[in-house]
Amino acid sequence: MEDNNIQKEAVVVNNKRYTIPIAIIIAGVFIAGALYINNQSNKAVKPTTNTETKTGVPAVNASDHILGNPNAKVIVVEYSDFECPFCKDFHNVMHTIINEYGPSGDVAWVYRHFPITQLHSKSVKEAEASECAAELGGNKGFWSYEDKIFEITPSNNGLNLNQLPIIAKEIGLDPIAFKSCLDSGKYKNKIQTQLKEATASGARGTPHSVIFVNGQQAPIEGAQPIKAMRRVIETLLNKSGKESVPVVPTF
């Protein structure tokens, strides 16, 4: 069921636009990176960026969970599954990226749900729990809860669901209100809607990310490594007319 770095299923920022579609730019960056790594280590690296999507995904909105600058030039919208091991890896990559650019920098990260229930029957309930954390603790509550799930789950449906209210209490949420929210199932529809968005956009598995920049969007499949994501983001920022150098240099 696992293929490379993908687990498979059984804000428009400003008015400036690229001459070349960003999907082609991104694909070019990945291909160049693959050639570089291949020359350095003789290991073949397969680019996993599609050059087009079936349909676009919704722009960032008030119901989204955003880490980083909401008005950033580059926004990475990730569709993810809490029990996907590749999502766990990419979670760490994106945290590093956001830390490098800072809370008022040129990059933001949006988390949306794409639970692959054929593989991970627990992932929907975990997604619901994260939404309850957001209801009770705001954006900070969501990200604290999301971080904790990825920290403790062994992945592949390995988390004991009894941990969900324990996590809520650990991050300072009202355990009674959390249980009431989780038992209500009020966020099932939101999660299913986001799952359908990802599928309609051509997602082949998790993690599935879509980069928004300058009124365009393009997909990135799989848990891309940190160097690849740095190169993509920096290339897009440079193309937008303003260079923004992260703390850690790209390769």
Is 70 exceeded by the pLDDT of residue 148? yes
15, pLDDT greater than 80: no
Give the H/E segment covering residue 78: strand 74-80
Is 84 or 37 the better-scoring residue by pLDDT?
84
Arithmetic mean of pLDDT, 5-31:
46
Listed range (41-45, 118-122, 128-132) with the worst mean pLDDT: 41-45
Q: What is the mean pLDDT of the segment spanning 234-239?
A: 90
- Of the CA atoms within 13 Å of residue 138, those in its CB half-sphere come to 2
Domain positions in the chain = 2-239
Tokens 């880490």, located at residue: 67
Share of the chain above pLDDT 90, in %: 68
Which pair of structure tokens corresponds to residue 76?
Answer: 């990475």
Whether 47 contacts 247, CB under 8 Å: no
* pLDDT of res. 214: 84
Query: Tell me, what's the pLDDT at 124?
Result: 98
Q: What is the pLDDT of residue 146?
A: 98
CB atoms < 10 A from the CB of 44, how many?
A: 8
What pLDDT, on a 0 to 100 scale, did the predictor assign at position 204? 86
Question: Which superfamily does 2-239 belong to?
Answer: Glutaredoxin (3.40.30.10)
Average pLDDT over residues 68-96: 97
pLDDT in tens, 70-80: 999 999 999 99
